[in-house]
Structure 1
Amino acid sequence: MNKRWAMRPDISEENVKRLAAELNIDTVLSKLLVDRGINTYDEARWFFRPDIRHLHDPFLMADMEKAVSRIELAISRNEKILIYGDYDVDGTTAVSTVYGFFSERYNNLDYYIPDRYNEGYGISTQGIDFAAANGFSLIIALDCGIKSIDKIDYANTLGIDFIICDHHTCGDTIPAAVAVLDPKRPDCPYPYKELSGCGVGFKLLQAYAEKNDIPFDEVMAYIDLAAISIACDIVHITGENRVLAYFGLQKLNNNPCIGVKTLMEVAGKSSGYTISDIVFLLGPRINAAGRIDDAKHAVQLLMACDENEAKEKGLLINVKNLERKEHDLNITDEALGMIGSNEVLINRKSTVVFNERWHKGVIGIVASRLTEKYYRPTVVLTRSNGHVAGSARSVFGYDLYEALCGCSDLLIQFGGHKYAAGLTMKPENVEAFMNRFEEVVSSTITAEQLVQQINIDAEITLNQIDGKFFRVLNQFSPFGPGNMSPVFLSRNVQLNGTPALVGSNHIKMSIMQPGSPAFDCIAFNHGECLEQLRAGQPFDVCYSIEENIWRDKRSIQLNIKGIRC
């Protein structure tokens, strides 16, 4: 697939030089800092040296005092408390965190994860009925609830109080809960708005511990789960999230809880985790429990106190992940075959595919894979409970939610955001939806949005990549949205030796420039460039710089994002 290379806009050279001098670093590195809004020595010190003291006062969050007081009241009255959370990684880590903390000091509580297929996302009537039937008078909802106006009203009629801990965008009305913790509330003065659902739960524990003289170390015991939620929910790794991710990674790599340690082992990597490793190795396994079977298995693993129990749950989840992979690959192959054999679908600016036999638990993953392949707004549909359910993914810069608004008369319901959404429709509307979605996308998407873009942070020579440059660059981590691993451009590089095809479509090679050392490179999914490279002519590359560890030997490796011969 052709990709557009885009350089970051120029910024004030004076600021860059001044900061480089103050920090005694390369101007390329100071430019990366200024690009991230870091302009002074003190701001750089905070960025490079995360500190737990940088966490905000949890009582700055609207309703936090109410939430803590209601929990204290429930415990003093020996009320039954239900910890309720979504079935994805953010929800299950949030439940494991909050339930784990309170179960250490209070016995009259339980947890509840809704069934993906029978109840769907968020707070369900079935969940509230379960609480009522079993005598729960307080529900702490995590990673959901901010738009559950009618469900909270229903719970109130049954005498069940709710504390909502959410991080999604609010609607016009705030639910009538005892407390609604959500930094995105318009009236919430909390200074950081990008917490994960688990992150909001973590702040609740921080506040409760502070008010009840519980050592903060007892809250920090769950920070590895917070880091997993931050990574897998693709929230910004800036500000407070960066602090939580930084220390969460430290715990995960040095002293993870028993469940996380077991999960790391079954994933095949027991240490040295980055945010990217969490996303690709741990997240799919946690998610697989709810996609294929029951998300409670994930919570039981993450909360495990016994190694044997953890191993049993870890192996079960790994099996479910293998099942998920099989469904994923089979459905992706079928979908690619449907598109590839249909000239009309190939030439469209959107992709909508439907098969009533496809497994609902993996259609979101398939939509992502199809978007990667064809790079256009994509919807994957399947049958579910008498209706047709869909998962949608978008391309950079295109508002998928707005496109679905243009099809709303054909949908029973839909929800999501700019880049990902879910939807439900009647079976008889599938064909009309396919055509309408294409009409809306065709009339609103630009030609540039249909070409994947590589954003390049700076142009450098290979000579600039020395030990000090790499050490400072490493301190920019953990990388993720809002703080992506920098991408560099180097022109007129030459091969050092012969490039080789590895795997199905990857290139392993070594490159250099006159007078520079040679750098090993891996170019994923660039197999089509092999013959051009073998011609021996200089070429341009854009890449990120990473550390490669092989048999305890560490070296700098360039991860190639684009090649131009």
Structure 2
Amino acid sequence: MNWNKTNVLKSDVDSIRQKYNIDAITASILIRRGITKGRDIFYFLEDDLRYQHNPFLFNGMEDAVDRILAAAEKDENGNREKVLIFGDRDVDGVTATTVLYECLVSLGIDVQFRVPKGDEAYGLSIEAIDEFADQYGSLIITVDCGIANVDEVAYAAQKGIDVIVTDHHNPQGVLPSPAIILDAKTEGSGYPFQEISGCALTYKLATALRFTKSKWYKTDVALLNARTEDDSIVIECIKVHNMIPMGRLTETVIPGEKSISDTKLPKYLQGQHIFCWNAKETSVLLKQAFGNGVDFNVYGMQDEISKFFPSLKDSSLEKIKNLSKIAKYGDHEPTEIGGFYNIYVTYVQQSLKKENPSFTETEEKELQLVALAAIADIMPLSDENRIFVRKGLEYMNAGRVRKGLVELLSKINLLGKRITSKDIGWSIAPKLNAAGRLGHADIATDLFTSDDPIEREQVAQKIIELNEERKTLTNDAENATFEQAKNSIENYNNKLSVVFDERIFKGVSGILASRYVEQFGIPSIVMSAVDDVVIGSMRSCRGFDVSNFLENMKDIFISHGGHDFAAGFSLERKNLEQYLSMVKENSRNIELLPVEDAGQPIDAEIYPEHMTPELINIVDRFEPYGNENENILFLARKIPIYSAQLVGKTERAHLKLVLDCENKEGKPTKFPAIFWGAGNLLHSEIEVGDKIDLLFNVERNTFNGTETLQLNIKDLRKSV
């Protein structure tokens, strides 16, 4: 393993350390990871929910909300519309279905859900539409699917059924119509972050629906501030709709030289509710600017906002602007009107929760599912995804585990233990996914939606059993197809491994494709068949976009879709040979990033005197770990080995060390360390008493209820 430590300038470290009030090690890690812009640093240092993106940034969100609210209204006979939530079979689809179902039930809506079962295909189906139409249903909401269902949405419209599409997969050129679409990856969506999960998207929709309980929903507001600057009065305004800034205006007026009609203010403020911070002070300045004959009819917010934030009672906007955390991470100087907007948004959010106390508990339950979905669907752990996962884990670890999840955690001996993103990825998500892979996604949804604790207990046990069955099916499929996968690589220009075998259970094709990606270091396609239809999964690596690869062959598919690194497809069996020929030809054009032989870059070097238990605080700050945020890799040099032993019963014994360090006060600090599969190093390359250089992660180790810190060694060398 090559050791790759990038040098960073002390001046750069000091700049970030001082600006954001962090330690030098954290600052150096951020720089080495290329996280140097304020907006990116923001999501590593802050995790308050008020910093997530506003759901109404989706251009279609207000339309979606209003259509759902219409479904909640009773007609003259006291009946409500019937609504169907159509989800997907994986963790993301099941959790997204749950979040929206619980939200719509709380609104009193006549709602049911459906997820693919058995051999049913991914995405909205004609069969589901027909069955719903027979029930006189009138609104379908897709979750974690739908963006590719162009024909199905058009068919629903013919049946008199409206469709709201909430999806996070890549669009395929033509969008479903007529439909209200919420997908951050569609052109012009308005949403600033594309990589949220399907569950996160339904959480956004649920959040927007809760916001309709506020008096501020669809209220046109203008925030206004007046201040003196030299001999002028500067008047700044921000138009706000559903807490979204819709426009800004600044007018600079020298008293006595301009009438208000000479400015853009009358037209800009027409029809707006005008709010300022301090009405008395603002009115005085406006009269100075335009004379006593002009009445702006402004309402001061200071007293009302101070009820929520007493420390602001006597504060000016000049002081408030410098208190703003958001402004601290900006690339421009904070402004008074910007500070007013930020505190207004926070006030609206807090007042909504105060008026509706149940919203806080509901949000906690939802975010635990959003955290599961982000990790299970391998969303990049950047931007607001970090907030979602951190908060979801926080609620789980505070003992407020939601129904369904508490039963599952109990079954796998994680209840009461500290849950991490690693636990979700390795222990929780695979079990939930197993239900969908084996055609029982409905029971995974039942786990979260059932109000019967006995039923949830039984479902959790069934999910454990299905996961064991899934393991067997996957291993059998690998044993049956490994040689085919290996030998296929040369046929596909050394760019792909391709497998087709009817013995593969279609629900494990994605897992098998991922295994072959890991083993061969190239993208992989794994296919099986159900009757006359071939069903395949494609997984990628090294920067290759599989969704675009499949899009180039779209004419041969019955259906296809997915993400950049994971996609699925189906085609008629009679077209399989033609498809394989097309794949072989197109594989010539596949461009893969070079295989990184340097290993994971080193994030920070820790000097022996800084080898203290406080290192875990830095590790915790960078949680959650996963896609695009690997575990922190530390380097330490000349660390003495205090003791060593071999552990494990396999052929490759593990090396367990105790390292002898001194802290900054010169007091001894003993660190346990484990190097998996490296028992052969003892007595051949190292001995007790030697000093070693090592690359390591810092992690918690829980045994018999006791938590200790442990170094997980990735590589070591005898010190020179």
Q: Which TM-score applies when normalising by structure 2?
A: 0.70
Corresponding residue to 1:509 among 620, 633, 656: 656
Q: What residue number does 1:62 align with?
A: 59
Separation of aligned partners in 1, 2:492 and 2:644: 39
Q: Please name the residue that 1:536 is paired with.
A: 685
- Give me the whole-angstrom Cα distance separating, in 2, the residues matched to 1:387 and 1:159: 30
What letter is aligned with 2:712? N
Cα–Cα, structure 1 residues 344 and 168, in superposed 2: closer, same or farther, change >3 Å? Answer: closer
Q: Does 1:48 align with 2:48?
A: no
- Cα deviations across residues 404-441 of structure 1 (Å, max 9, x unaligned)? 56777876654434422323455566677667756755
Structure 1 residues 65, 542: closer, same or farther in 2, change over 3 A? Answer: same
- 1:204 lines up with 2:205 in the alignment: yes
Which residues of structure 2 form unaligned runs of 5+? 75-79, 215-355, 664-668
State whether structure 2 residue 141 is matched by structure 1 residue 140. Answer: yes
Q: How far does residue 51 in structure 1 lie from its aligned partner after superposition?
A: 1.0
Structure 2 counterpart of 1:252, from 387, 392, 396: 396
Whether the aligned pair in 2 keeps the contact of 1:352 and 1:378 (CA below 8 Å) is yes
The correspondence for 1:263, drawn from 408, 414, 418, is 408
Is the contact made by 1:375 and 1:450 (CA closer than 8 Å) also made in structure 2? no
Corresponding residue number in structure 2 for 1:520? 672
Q: Give the corresponding residue for 2:375.
A: 231
Does the aligned pair in 2 maintain the 1:502–1:508 contact within 8 Å?
A: no
Alignment-mate amino acid for residue 551 of structure 1 = N
- The structural deviation recorded for 1:468 is 2.8
Q: 1:507 offset after TM fit, Å? A: 2.3
Q: 1:532 to 1:338 in 2, by over 3 A?
A: farther
**Distance in 2 between residues matched to 1:520 and 1:373, nearest whole Å:** 31
Counterpart-to-counterpart distance in 1, 2:716 and 2:119: 44
Instruction: Tell me what 2:95 maps to.
Output: 93
Q: 1:549 aligns with which of 702, 716, 719?
A: 702
- 1:182/1:512 CA distance change after superposition, 3 Å: same
> Paired residue for 1:33?
30
Relative to structure 1, the CA distance from residue 389 to residue 43 in structure 2 (aligned partners, 3 Å threshold; closer, same or farther) is closer
CA contact (8 A) 2:86 2:97 kept: yes
- Aligned-pair CA distance for 1:298: 0.6
**What's the TM-score, normalizing by structure 1?**
0.88
- Whether 2:226 is the aligned partner of 1:74: answer no
Contact conserved, 1:339 with 1:346, CA < 8 A, in 2?
no
Report the Cα offset of residue 476 of structure 1.
Answer: 1.9
Counterpart mapping for 1:88-167 below 5 A: 88-106=90-108, 108-115=110-117, 117-118=119-120, 120-167=121-168
Among 4, 17, 21, which residue is 1:20 paired with?
Answer: 17
1:31–1:147 CA distance, 2 compared to 1 (3 A):
same
Change (3 A) 1:370 1:23: same
Query: Are residues 47 and 443 of structure 1, via their aligned partners in 2, closer, same or farther at CA, if it must alter by over 3 Å?
Result: closer
Q: CA–CA distance in 1 between the matches of 2:43 and 2:485?
A: 49
* Counterpart for residue 257 of structure 2: none
Alignment match of 1:309 (pick from 437, 444, 455) = 455
Query: SS where residue 497 of structure 1 aligns?
Result: strand
Distance in 1 (CA, whole Å) between partners of 2:9 and 2:596 is 31
Which amino acid in the other structure matches residue 329 of structure 1? Answer: N
Query: What runs of 5+ residues in structure 1 fail to find an aligned partner?
Result: none
- CA drift of 1:99 comes to 0.6
- Cα distance between partner residues in 2 of 1:174 and 1:184: 11
- 1:37 corresponds to which letter in structure 2? I
Select the residue among 628, 642, 645 that pairs with 1:498.
Answer: 645
Q: CA deviation at 1:21?
A: 4.5
- For residue 305 of structure 1, give the secondary structure of its aligned residue in structure 2: coil
Q: Decide whether the 8 Å contact of 1:16 with 1:27 is kept in 2.
A: yes
1:395/1:450 contact within 8 Å kept: no
Corresponding residue SS for 2:434: helix
SS at match of 1:475: helix
The Cα of 1:236 is off from its aligned counterpart by 2.2
**Structure 2 counterpart of 1:82, one-letter code:** L
**2:537 match: secondary structure:** strand
Distance 2:197 2:459 in 1: 25
Classify 1:424/1:109 alpha carbon distance in 2 versus 1 (closer, same or farther; 3 Å).
Answer: closer
Aligned partners of 2:483 and 2:412: how far apart in 1?
Answer: 30
Deviation at 1:448, TM superposition (A): 3.0
Output the CA distance in 2 between the equivalents of 1:520 and 1:442. 50
**SS of 1:222's equivalent?**
helix
Q: For the structure 1 residues 256 and 533, does the alpha-carbon distance in structure 2 shift closer, same or farther, using more than 3 Å as the test? A: same
Distance 1:457 1:295, change over 3 A: same
Q: Describe the shift of the 1:400–1:53 C-alpha distance in structure 2 as closer, same or farther (beyond 3 A).
A: closer
Closer, same or farther in 2 for the Cα pair 1:392/1:519, shift >3 Å? farther
How many residue pairs were aligned?
557
8 Å Cα contact 1:29/1:473 also seen in 2:
no
Report the equivalent of 1:324.
470
Question: Which letter maps to 1:535?
Answer: S
SS in 2 for 1:273: coil
Cα deviation digits, residues 264-302 of structure 1 (max 9, x gap): 111221131111111222211211112113211011101
Stretch moving more, 10-19 or 219-228: 10-19
8 Å CA contact retained: 1:148, 1:175: yes
| SS at 1:155 equivalent | helix
1:402-441 → structure 2 map (5 Å cutoff): 414-425=560-571, 427=573, 437=583, 441=587
Shift of 1:562: 4.5
Deviations for 1:68-118, whole angstroms, at most 9, x for unmatched residues? Answer: 111111111410011111111111101111111221331521111123623
User: Counterparts of 2:683 and 2:483 in 1: how far apart (Å)?
Assistant: 32
Distance 1:175 1:405, change over 3 A: closer
Change (3 A) 1:425 1:148: closer
Counterpart Cα distance in 2 of 1:102 and 1:416: 27
Larger radius of gyration: 2
SS of the residue corresponding to residue 559 of structure 1 reads: strand
Q: 1:424 to 1:293 in 2, by over 3 A?
A: closer
The SS at the match of 2:525 is strand
Go from structure 1 to structure 2 and tell me whether the alpha carbon gap of 1:334 and 1:32 turns closer, same or farther (over 3 Å shift). Answer: same
Contact 1:137 1:160 in 2 (8 A): yes
Matched, 1:168 2:169: yes
Residue type at the aligned position of 2:173: D
Is 1:258–1:306's contact at 8 Å kept on the other side of the alignment? no
- Paired amino acid for 2:371: A
Deviation at residue 247 of structure 1 after TM alignment = 1.6
Contact 2:654 2:679 in 1 (8 A): yes
State the distance in 1 between where 2:589 and 2:53 align.
45
Within 2, Cα distance between the matches of 1:81 and 1:340? 48
Cα shift at 1:564: 6.5
The alignment-based identity, stated in percent, is 30
Match of 1:560 in 2: 713
Take 1:347 and 1:499, find their aligned partners in 2: how far apart are those partners?
A: 44
By how many angstroms is 1:132 displaced? Answer: 0.9
Shift of 1:523: 3.9
CA–CA distance in structure 1, aligned partners of residues 372 and 151 of structure 2 = 31
2: CA distance, partners of 1:147 / 1:22? 46
- In structure 1, the residue matched to 2:335 is none
